[in-house]
Amino acid sequence: MQKELTLHDDFPPHSYKQWYESVEKQLKGAPFARLVKKTIEDIDISPMYFPKDSEALPHINALPGFTPYARGCKPSGPICSSWHVAQEIIYPDPFLTNEALQNDLKRGQTAINIPLDMASKQCIDPDMENASGVGIGGLSVASNADWAMALKDVALKEIPLFVQAGDSGIAITAMLMAFAASQNIQPKDLSGWMGVDPLGMLSKSGKLTSSLSSIYDEMAELTQWTSENAPQFKSIAPSGIPYHNSGGSAVCESAFVMATAVEYIRALLERGLTIDTICQSMIFQLSIGSDFFMEMAKLRAVRLVWEKIVSAFGGNKDSQKMVIHARTSSYNKTKTDPYVNMLRVTTEAFSAISGGCDSLHVEPFDALLGLPTAFSRRIARNVQIVLRDESHFKHPIDPAGGSWYVENLTDQLAKKIWEQFQNIEKNGGMFSALEKGIVQKHLKEKANERLKNLSSRKTVFVGTNKYPNLTEKTPQVNVPDMKAVAKSRAIKVNQFKNTRNIGSLTSTLNAFQTARNENQKGWFPLAIEAASFGASLAELTAALRKAPEKTVQVEAVHEHRLAEPFENLRYRTQKFASKVGKTPAIFLANMGPIPQHKARADFSTGFFELAAFDILGNNGFQTIDDAVAAFEKSSARVAVICSTDATYPEIVPDLTSAIKKLSTENKVILAGYPKEHIQAFQEAGVDDFIHLRTNALAFLENLQKQMGVTS
């Protein structure tokens, strides 16, 4: 007989005060504030949330698909139109790109996502003298023939195309449209975006390929043309990824990308475009880090801020809707224990999907080691497909909606993003903030804070600053010879140029250049015509721009990975060991039976393995003489005493003295930090102490120097 559930009677609701008192009781005198966590965004995370934490929020009663769009821009969420599985195809050669595309589009990828190499973003042909950056970071494109090879047999009418183009998309788009025309594909049939982001490019490289004014002129022309002729193909893609990869928090990444978008709005309004044309031509690129709820809330919060901004400019409801392309973070990925990256991207993808992204790239686990393999691409792609089809994440509409915690976090984030965005505005906007170094200074401060947390292991990277796997085998990777790639591309591009009708090419290029120099309206179709006759990227760019202009230069943001210093610790020791023929050793002076020393011996082993030292362990010594004798026989010159605080006073002075008598170069470290005995132990000869609050990075770097371990 089924009993009727009476949960409300069985579990009556309790007030905040009752919960608070219960928690305090469990803390046994410790303050409740001890459980409150402060994030790098300077937001306090409470251990408990209640209806009162969200019921008064301004967006709380809004529905998905309605202003202010915190809950997403579509009433049906991903049910009718799921997010795009938009894995980057990052191969330098058009043939390899097409090969990967043909494979991946048959196996679940739903959008074509092609980053361009540095040479293409800087409008450099591979066959130019002193061409640099060829094949680095993406596809090398120099003509419509390269697009023809890369996109051969791809159904562009059905599959959206995302191109990460750099600071100017005119030449790249012209070549793409010329190829599309050759396949009888009309511009109106294309969907996706050409990711033009001059300020993002400026922040990354510290320079632009032309003056900012000229680049904004080009952006205006491209945006006007695409809005009229290819309305499903967006032209502007402000990116927060450089700021995230420089250590920025969720707040500053979002604020900087908002400030960037506003700078573009103002520039294009000045050039005659309407606010609705501009905003509906934008797509935003954001990184997704490992703070699960913070990243989920970030996508919700940034939509709130964007709605507020566009409303202030007078944009309509469609313009207030934000299109977000999310990318799992590179900043927190590791070369050491790279398989852990699979786990990291899974939670990041979960955050992005729950936050309502429109498209998503999940970084392959081996991306830092070389070009992705077919295996790593498949695993990364399947992360999304499993979440969509097996975990059924295409069915919930805003799964975080109504969560007291996530709604409160969304509101706090939105307020902080708005505040920092306003600070950028007060300093003259995003370009001015980059020129003045305001952005760079803020990112350095956040990066230093992150490194401090990682160094003390307050932030944990599994396999890197905790639980290292020194027996790991590096996965099979695809590391191309970039010099050979550049040479091959130069030959192919030069061969193509020799097949062109020079007369037709020259006349169309001249017509394009004349129209551009005379500031004629609607000159972009002439660029497409020139591209159809084989005009190269560099040739189109030369015709596009007038006499050489003074380019913009600022201090580039410092993109890096947080784990690099810890990885270098390990590599330094391994390189040294390879050079001298043996690994520097650490001797564990484990005193007493196993229960007495095991906790600190395990801690010490994990601590020193971070630098790939050879840890000489044992089951413990009953006497000081036994420990000293074993140390003397070992190859180590560093001893770590492991026991309990209670036994240290009778062990440490004599053991330290005996070890030092063997050689004044011997070093003694104590596992633990018994405050009342620190001075006495130092006087006895103890050189240092390791404990939970030790700055592991600084300690191990210093120890390597003392041991003569140099790279």
Which tens digits make up the pLDDT trace of 330-372?
Answer: 999 999 999 999 999 999 999 999 999 999 999 999 999 999 9
Percentage of the chain lying above the pLDDT 70 cut: 99
* DSSP-assigned letter for residue 663: -
Question: Please, what's the b/e burial string for 493-528 (b: 16 or more CB within 10 A of its CB; e: otherwise)?
Answer: beebbeebeeeebeebbebbbebbeeeeeebbebbb
Mean pLDDT in the chain?
A: 95
SS3 488: helix
Strands 44-45 and 37-38: antiparallel
Q: How many other β-carbons are positioned within 10 Å of the β-carbon of residue 626?
A: 14
Scored b (16 or more CB within 10 A) or e, 330-343 reads bbbbbbbbbebbbe
Cα 469 to Cα 336, 389, 516, 611, distances in angstroms: 8, 33, 59, 11
Q: What is the pLDDT of residues 602-631, one digit of tens each?
A: 999 999 999 999 999 999 999 999 999 999
580 and 442, same structural domain? no
Q: What is the pLDDT at residue 15?
A: 87
Q: Are residues 280 and 141 in the same domain?
A: yes
Tens of pLDDT along 418-452? 999 999 999 999 999 999 999 999 999 999 999 99
In a domain? residue 501: no
Structure-model confidence comparison of residues 34 and 96, the more confident one: 96
CB neighbour list of residue 97: distance below 8 Å, 6 or more residues apart:
89, 91, 114, 139, 149, 150
Residue 227 · residue 524 · CB < 8 Å: no
Return the structure tokens found at 317.
């409801």
Within a domain: 543 = no
432 vs 168 pLDDT, higher one: 432
Residue with the two structure tokens 């100017």: 168
Residue 214 lies in a domain: yes
Of 65, 72, 89, 243, the closest CA to residue 151 belongs to 89
The answer to whether position 502 is within a domain reads no
Q: How confident is the model at residue 2 (pLDDT cuts 50, 70, 90)?
A: low
Q: State how far the Cα of 100 lies from the Cα of 84, in Å rounded to an integer.
A: 17
Q: Give the phi and the psi of residue 55 in degrees, each rounded to 5.
A: -65, -25
Place of tokens 């003295």: 657
Above 80 in pLDDT, residue 711?
A: no
In one letter, which amino acid is 275?
I
Which pLDDT does position 13 carry in this prediction?
Answer: 83
* pLDDT value, residue 1: 45
pLDDT at 39: 97
Three-class SS of residue 564? helix
Answer yes or no: do 452 and 569 share one domain. Answer: no
CATH of the domain at 673: 3.40.50.280
Report yes or no on 283 lying in a domain: yes
Mark which of 456, 479, 501 sits at the end of a domain. Answer: 456
* Domain end point (choices 416, 435, 456): 456
* Each residue's pLDDT tens digit, 243-268: 999 999 999 999 999 999 999 999 99
Tell whether 528 is covered by a domain.
no
SS3 at position 17: helix
pLDDT at residue 69 tops 60: yes
pLDDT confidence bin for 168, thresholds 50/70/90: confident
Query: Quick check: is 461 in a domain?
Result: no
Q: Which residue has the higher pLDDT, 478 or 535?
A: 535
- In this structure, what CATH number is given to the domain that contains residue 90? 3.20.20.240
pLDDT above 50 for 36 = yes
Instruction: Express each pLDDT in 172-187 by its tens digit.
Output: 999 999 999 999 999 9
pLDDT given at position 588: 98
When pLDDT is cut at 50, 70 and 90, the band that residue 11 belongs to is confident
Which residue type is seen at 107?
A: R
Domains contained in the chain, number: 2
Least confident piece of the model among 32-41, 277-286, 292-301: 32-41
pLDDT tens digits, one per residue of 86-110: 999 999 999 999 999 999 999 999 9
| pLDDT tens for each residue of 544-594 | 987 677 788 999 999 999 999 999 999 999 999 999 999 999 999 999 999
Backbone torsions φ then ψ of 428, nearest 5 degrees: 100, 5
- Name the one residue in this structure whose structure tokens are 């507020």: 308
Residue 183 counted as domain residue? yes
Q: Could you give the maximum distance between any two Cα atoms of the chain, in Å? A: 94
Structural domain harbouring 605: 565-707
Q: Are 365 and 359 in contact (CB under 8 A)?
A: no
**Percent of the chain having pLDDT more than 90?**
90
Higher pLDDT: 547 or 301? It is 301
Spatial distance between the Cα atoms of 239 and 166, rounded to a whole number of angstroms:
11
Q: Is the pLDDT of residue 210 over 70?
A: yes
pLDDT tens per residue, range 692-704: 999 999 999 999 9
Boundary-marking domain end, from 456, 474, 504: 456
Instruction: Judge if 447 and 570 occupy the same domain.
Output: no
φ, ψ dihedrals at 361, nearest 5°: -110, 125
| Higher pLDDT among residues 467 and 474, named by residue | 467
